Structure 1
Amino acid sequence: MSRLEEKTIKTEKIFSGKVISLQVEEVELPNGNISKREIIKHPGAVAILALTDENRIVMVEQYRKALERTIIEIPAGKLELNEDPEACAKRELEEETGYGCKEMEWLISFYTSPGFADEIVHLYIARGLEKKENALAPDEDEFVNLMELTLEEAEHYLKEQKIYDAKTAYAVQYLQLQKALNQ
């Protein structure tokens, strides 16, 4: 055990739902004391920074019940059991936007809230977009408005807090960095 590691003594499963589960773990701290950790388990997700040939960012506006408001986001979705993240990214892009792509490249993976959740998001960039005639249908409980934004419009929506989630802010900042490096 490393000098920072917490040893799990007992795990109590509290809730198991469609997307997440919650457990409480009793842990032994590095100093020998005992504490509790509330942990959300999540299967992981993908997010797609999809760029049109005109360099517009494909986004969706979606109502988020946890926030009680709509926000503008890059397409994203939950990994199915044992699903390859790149395959999931292609599926989610098609389901949410009706687009397929010629090129899908992994950019980075990151944990969203490691203090209490194990959710990891795999961020991809998609280029060579093609509108699919018989695209996969969105999930039955998913309603989105499709948008195509310039980088400047996305930056404006960040300031207005219409883009307000980490994965989308990260994607916009990635494009800002690429633009700055190429000037």
Structure 2
Amino acid sequence: MTERGAPPPQPGCEPHLVEHFSQGERVFDGRLLQVRRDTITLSTGEPATREYIVHPGAVMVVPLLDDGRLVMERQFRYPLGRVLIEFPAGKLDPGESVLACAQRELAEETGYRAAEWARAGLIHNACAYSTEGIELWFARGLSLGERQLDHGEHIDLLLLGVAELDALAARGEITDAKTLIGLQWLQRWQAGAWQLAWQATA
């Protein structure tokens, strides 16, 4: 038996829906991910098994140029065998704040630094089998510097207008869930329906 990998139930959850940890094991320990198999107890008292991935968490950035275009990325995603168009994103390093992670990933992957940042929210993109949460951030007041891609990382940059990205999404050419949600957030903010609290970087 090992320590639990998933967080305990939040206060206020309906008791008939809550599942309680009984025991568990690490099935795989990788450089990025840990796979666990836990035995849980249902509200009926019956046991069940849950297999899931423990993830350190990640950020995604919606970078806005002064002319209204968006800084996007094209990269090959090995598990899918295809190139995807995505907003810049990456995982949290140990002890790193989400804003510091967003700033680092934007600079490393695109070369851009931002004068202002705003947190949009948190999404769970694979809640049935992963603990991963992705913090969504917006960045503006961009200035271009040099990229610092990780070893083995190959990313093409492209600049798209919001209407262009929306058209790609409408045609089913954007399949990355976090990017689709980022586009929704952007459009709702631009329409005045959703709010962002901007803060200047030090």
Give the TM-score band, short-chain normalised.
Answer: over 0.9
Given candidates 87, 101, 105, the residue that maps to 1:92 is: 105
Given candidates 11, 14, 17, the residue that maps to 1:4 is: 17
Where 1:10 maps in the other structure, the secondary structure is strand
Residue deviations 1:32-81 (CA, integer Å, cap 9, x gap): 10110001100000000000000101000010011110010000000001
Partner of 1:103: 116
Name the CA distance, whole Å, in 2 between partners of 1:9 and 1:124. 36
Q: Is the 8 A contact 2:59 2:92 kept in 1?
A: yes
Quote the offset at 1:113 in angstroms: 1.4
Q: Does 1:160 align with 2:171?
A: yes
Name the CA distance, whole Å, in 1 between partners of 2:116 and 2:191. 23
Aligned residues, how many? 180
Partner of 1:139: 150
List aligned pairs for 1:1-183, cutoff 5 A: 2-132=15-145, 135-181=146-192
TM-score normalised by length of structure 2 = 0.85
Higher deviation after alignment, 155-164 or 46-55: 155-164
TM-score normalised by length of structure 1 = 0.93
Name the CA distance, whole Å, in 1 between partners of 2:134 and 2:22. 28
Residue deviations 1:140-183 (CA, integer Å, cap 9, x gap): 1211100110011101211333321111001111222233348x
Where 2:44 maps in the other structure, the secondary structure is coil
Name the CA distance, whole Å, in 1 between partners of 2:170 and 2:151. 32
Q: Is the 8 A contact 2:110 2:147 kept in 1?
A: no
Higher deviation after alignment, 162-171 or 67-76: 162-171
Where 2:180 maps in the other structure, the secondary structure is helix
Name the CA distance, whole Å, in 1 between partners of 2:90 and 2:189. 25
Residue deviations 1:98-146 (CA, integer Å, cap 9, x gap): 10010111111111111111100000000000012xx351111211100
1:171 alignment partner AA: G
Where 1:130 maps in the other structure, the secondary structure is strand
CA RMSD of aligned residues (A): 1.5
- Identity, in percent, stands at 36
